[in-house]
Amino acid sequence: MEKLEFPKGFLWGSATSSHQIEGNNHNDWSEWEKSSERIEQLKKDGGSPSDFISGRACDSYNRFEEDFDIAKSLNHNIHRISIEWSRIESEEGKFNNEAIQHYKTVVKAIRDRGMEPMVTLWHFTNPIWFASDGGFLNKKAPLRFVRFVRFVVENLKDDVSLWITFNEAVSVYGPMAYISGTWPPQKRNFLSYLRFRKNIIRAHTLAYNEIKNIYHKSPASEMNSDNVSPISPTPMSMSHNIREAQIGVVENNSPIISPWYWRLIGLSGLVSYYRNHFLLSGVFPYYDFIGLNYYCFKRLPGSYSILPRQDSVKIMDWEIYPKGIYDRLLDLKRKYNKPIYITENGIADATDEKRTRFIKDHLYWVWRAIQDGVNVRGYMYWSLLDNFEWHRGYGPRFGLVEIDYKNNQTRKIRTSAYEYARIISNNGFEF
């Protein structure tokens, strides 16, 4: 047994997203969930449509204080949330003061419990008006996104230091929406995917500049189609006693397992670049940290001769490969040399039989990466709660806390959550 100690000040917690836990959202996803095409497809696949409609979700829009009390009781000192754009700007250019006041209360509730809030500005969902006008395919999309970002940041800046612009936009959302056509808007058009990527890069860069401007109180850059240059921030000694903004972008980063002949012709490297690095390279150096979401690896044909089938949980069929997080962390350090937060890492384990082992095995490799010089600043398990898992509905159970959807969304803390709490309390564990 070896005692693994994490750096002093290491942040421990969990992550959530608005559409997956809040309930009663009205956005492009909630409309798609109830569409006749979607329901017909579910019936053909033998699924019950009610299991794939977000509805009340975890009712966390009303029960967030209860959820944060649980997180605090489990020793968490950071918590990642997302802001629901459709609540803030349900009509173009009209901002909802009641909605932003709600999120101000949410952020303050996190901080009042001794946790650091990390706020994601986009986590897959869009307002109806935005989606109806092409979403991120529209050339106006980057400036529309920045207008929303400006309103949110100006209202939350006093209590938030850690911001994320986009969650898994290019690595997951883009391919699911525009290549496989699994997610709305189900276009299956590669040219649309290319346009989407271009506008996401522009939107992130503009948003990064805007947030820095807000925190440093320097004259805002004139934002037009030709201006994406970063500002020169005012030194913090000259600022108005506000928090420093640290801005990151989150991607799902997976090892690519392939036989020698795919590597010989360079295909595995090409897949890795477009899967893992396109966005991070495209917006470099306009981020202060990288958010790494890690769950599993991706296989190319013939890879079973290189790596046999690994253990998995049937409902997601993601093979468990803890060492992959070490490989990804070292790769990110080599390419970008930025601080890194593990913003998601989790397992859909309804029985809670594998979750503790999953967490410890991955944390061992995170610790190894830290020993090898990677600046990892925190770890957030996905997720605090069981939640609505997008097109997979309510079947996958990722939560440290079990949600009984049939019994008024009752919360029950799982055994693995207490094991994770002990790791946090000791800032490490024996392995």
User: Which amino acids are annotated catalytic?
Assistant: 344
Number of H helices, E strands in the chain: 16, 16
- Residue bearing tokens 């997302």: 82
Three-state DSSP state, 385: strand
Dist CA 122 CA 204 (whole Å): 10
The alpha-helical segments, DSSP class H, found in 133-283 are 141-156, 174-178, 190-216, 260-264, 267-272, 278-282
- Classify burial at 225, counting beta carbons within 10 Å of its beta carbon; exposed 0-12, middle 13-18, buried 19 or more: exposed
Q: Are 274 and 194 in contact (CB under 8 A)?
A: no
CA distance 201 to 417: 36
The answer to whether 166 touches 145, Cβ cutoff 8 Å, is no
Q: Residue 9 CA to chain centroid, in angstroms?
A: 22
Reading the block at residue 264, the tokens are 């010989």
Q: What b/e readout covers 300-314, taking b as 16+ CB neighbours within 10 angstroms?
A: beebeeeeeeeebbe
Which residues, including other chains, have CB under 8 Å from residue 410's CB and lie 6 or more apart?
A: 403, 404
Q: What are phi and psi of 78, to 5 degrees?
A: -145, 145
3-state DSSP call for residue 116? strand
CA angle, residues 386, 392, 398, in degrees to nearest 5: 25
C-beta of residue 110 within 8 angstroms of C-beta of residue 14:
no
- Copy the structure tokens of residue 38: 């979607």
Q: Name the helix (H) or strand (E) containing 246.
A: strand 246-252
Q: Is the peptide bond before 285 cis (omega within 30 degrees of 0)?
A: yes
Identity of the amino acid at 182: T
Q: What is d(CA 326, CA 336) in angstroms, rounded to the nearest whole number?
A: 15
Spatial contact of 119 and 77, defined as CB atoms under 8 Å apart: no
